[in-house]
Amino acid sequence: MSLHVTIVGAGLGGLVLAGVLHVHGIAATIYEAEASADARAQGGLLDIHDYNGQLALAAAGLTEQFHAIIIPGADAKRIRDKHGRLLFDRQQGLGIRPEVDRGELRRILLESLPADAIRWGHKLASVSSHGDGRHELAFTNGAQVTADLLVGADGAWSRVRPLLTDHRPAYVGTCFIETFLFDTATRHPASAQAIGDGTLMALAPGQGIMAHRHGDGTLQGYISLNRPEDWIARINPSDRAAALASIAAEFEGWAPELTALITECDVAPVLRPIYALPITHQWTRVPGVTLVGDAAHLMSPFAGEGANLAMFDGAELARALAAHPDNTEAALAAYERDLFPRSAAVAEEADRNLKLFFNDTSPQGVVDMFSSFVPDA
């Protein structure tokens, strides 16, 4: 097949797209800004859902490899109030959303691709249309590429998205502050016990302390606050002590085993303001270009669907291209026809859950939501 797909971004969506295209014998090249696969840490744990993320990995031929990286028990959930009282405890999880390390997931995807599939160190500087469905890409390293079919898999601040839409992500009013505690068995046993084997959500109106327990015992915290952007701008992570003190002051009166995720943090905190595109974000078909993942439908993480949707997008786009080998525009139209309602439904759920987590009913509203989920028989 003569079709060649140019993908910007080696995140999960772009990697699955390239992987499923490879399964179908369609050539693809990914251009990635990072210098190498090991240029930075890849974040925390991901729960991979049976109805989208796992299907995408199966389409890439990676079911066996996926099963090998599942962390047993990591899908457990606990909910506590600000005083540390246990309100919900499901230590076995539901079994349909197993947790994996994001770095391990990326590894198996990278290993499934041809050695020359990714051009590392290619940060997109600009992209312009030739007017005939082809696009010219210019990179900061001086390289230039003409794409017959361009896919933006380049995340929240996509440089490909402006070819299709003028919408930009907007701050949703909630900020995550990422923290880490190491050697928790000996240095932070109370926090480790409070979290359990999987995920902890300690919540109150307008704020929360959430955490994952990694397989090596590391605790990764996501301190959550409903605050304006100018509050975030006043936090200087490079001054670790001052930044942690400012954040901890927002949690006065909380249980010490919870606030230890702030006060005892072993690294500089990472501020992650949450941005989202409009819930019903879509665009009019433009020849030769489309989007997957956050570039297409950035949303808050409170539906747990971002990575799963990105991978499913990649798989569905690849399958559409394989189904229309002689009509790329028909493939893109078919893909987008399904993409828009699918992503809008999940974005609406994410928005609803974000409000539920931090509204005046918190944490009880969240307890009620998780209690409504039917466990395995």
- Using one digit for the tens of pLDDT, what is the confidence trace for 234-267? 999 999 999 999 999 999 999 999 999 999 999 9
For residue 343, CA distances in Å to 50, 52, 107, 110 come to 17, 12, 26, 25
H helix intervals, the chain = 12-23, 53-59, 63-69, 102-111, 184-187, 189-195, 229-233, 240-249, 256-263, 294-297, 306-323, 328-358, 364-371
- pLDDT averaged over consecutive 10-residue blocks of the chain (377 residues)? 91 98 97 92 85 97 97 90 96 75 95 96 96 96 97 98 97 96 93 93 98 89 96 92 96 98 95 97 97 98 94 98 96 98 97 96 95 65
| Numbered ranges of CATH 3.50.50.60 in the chain | 4-72+100-169+277-357
Homologous superfamily (CATH) of 4-72+100-169+277-357 is FAD/NAD(P)-binding domain (3.50.50.60)
Residues 6+ apart with CB under 8 A from 271: 175, 176, 177, 178, 232, 235, 237
pLDDT in tens, 39-57: 887 768 899 999 999 999 9
| Secondary structure (3-state) at 2 | coil
β-strand pairing of 170-181 with 270-276 = antiparallel
Helices 306-323 and 12-23: crossing angle in degrees, nearest 10, is: 30
Q: What is the pLDDT of residue 72?
A: 87
- SS3 state at 209: strand
Residue 244 pLDDT: 96
Radius of gyration of the chain (CA): 21
170-276 to CATH, choices 3.40.50.300, 3.90.1170.50, 3.40.190.10, 3.30.9.30? 3.30.9.30
Residue intervals in the chain for CATH 3.30.9.30: 170-276
Which DSSP helix (H) or strand (E) runs through 147?
A: strand 144-147
* Whole-number Å distance between alpha carbons of 46 and 57: 14
